[in-house]
């Protein structure tokens, strides 16, 4: 079965598999379903990726890497005040999640399924967070000494930011169907919480 545009069959399988794995998780997605969604024979999925685990891990690791590269990117942070840096981090983290709202749950479920995988991810992350952490830690100390920020550990700021942002994207779909929000109201809520999460973190820093 020829694929219309220039996109290779291998790529088509990857993309469709990614979509299905994100939608329904690893266990509930079969290679047969992937093949059907792509419009190819089921054996072809195994021809390119040999095993379902292989296919999943290929997708998972590349998504994971891409996601955290962006999370720990420090290039935009120069020439900002400390609180502006924090604001920027909250907002870009929020926006990154808005583009990948199902990544956190995928990661949680996958690591529950294959705890050994954690070692691989630790190696993948490796030095990524270090630059950001050392940069922010240094500045945080100065701010605290100058009395502009409450005495606090940077890790607590990070935990707070990640919690607020991740929880929003994992829970809002559920919450909004329970309390029956329209598409419109959901969008409004999202935009509102984007700024509110910044507010929460910044009030937390006030001396």
Judged by the rule CB under 8 A, the positions of this chain that interact with a second copy are 23-25, 27-28, 104-105, 107-109, 111-113, 115, 118, 121-122, 125, 156, 159-160, 162-164, 166-168, 170-171, 174, 177-178, 180, 193, 196, 199-200, 203-204, 206
From the list a second copy, DNA, none, partner contacted by residue 81 (C-beta under 5 to 8 A by kind) = none
> Least distance from C-beta 30 to DNA, angstroms?
3
Q: Is 9 in contact with 3 (CB distance < 8 Å)? A: yes
**What residue 188 binds from a second copy, DNA, none (CB within 5 to 8 A, per partner kind)?**
none
In terms of CB distance, is 45 or 164 closer to a second copy? 164
Which of 32/163 has CB closer to DNA?
A: 32
Residues 6+ apart with CB under 8 A from 206: 149, 150
Nearest CB to a second copy, comparing residues 58 and 160: 160
Rg (CA), the chain: 20
How many Cα neighbours within 13 Å face the side chain of 19?
10
Q: Which of a second copy, DNA, none lies near 206, with the C-beta cut-off 5 to 8 A by kind?
A: a second copy
The two structure tokens encoding residue 27 = 């266990």
Q: How far is the CB of 184 from DNA (least distance, A)?
A: 36
Is the CB of 30 or the CB of 114 nearer to DNA?
30
* Class of residue 64 by CB neighbours under 10 A (exposed 0-12, middle 13-18, buried 19+): buried
Rounded least distance, CB 13 to DNA, Å: 8
For residue 75, the surrounding DSSP H or E stretch is none
Name the minimum Å distance from CB 28 to a second copy. 4
Q: How far is CA 134 from CA 37, 46, 127, 129, 140, in A?
A: 46, 44, 11, 9, 10
């Amino acid at each position: 079965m020829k694929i219309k545009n220039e996109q290779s069959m291998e790529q088509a399988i990857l993309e469709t598999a990614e979509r299905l794995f994100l939608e329904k998780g690893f266990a509930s997605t079969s290679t047969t379903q992937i093949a059907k969604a792509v419009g190819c024979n089921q054996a072809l999925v195994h021809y390119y990726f040999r095993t379902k685990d292989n296919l999943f891990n290929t997708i998972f690791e590349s998504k994971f890497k891409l996601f955290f590269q962006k999370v720990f990117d420090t290039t935009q942070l120069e020439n900002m005040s400390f609180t502006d840096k924090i604001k920027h981090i909250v907002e870009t983290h929020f926006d990154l999640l808005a583009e990948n709202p199902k990544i956190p749950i995928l990661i949680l479920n996958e690591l529950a399924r294959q705890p050994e995988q954690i070692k691989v991810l630790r190696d993948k992350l490796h030095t990524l967070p270090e630059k950001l952490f050392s940069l922010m830690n240094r500045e945080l100390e100065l701010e605290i000494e100058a009395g502009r920020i409450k005495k606090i550990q940077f890790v607590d700021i990070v935990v707070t930011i990640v919690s607020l942002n991740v929880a929003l994207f994992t829970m809002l779909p559920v919450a909004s169907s329970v309390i029956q929000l329209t598409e419109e109201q959901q969008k409004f809520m999202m935009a509102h919480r984007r700024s509110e999460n910044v507010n929460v973190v910044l009030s937390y820093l006030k001396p």
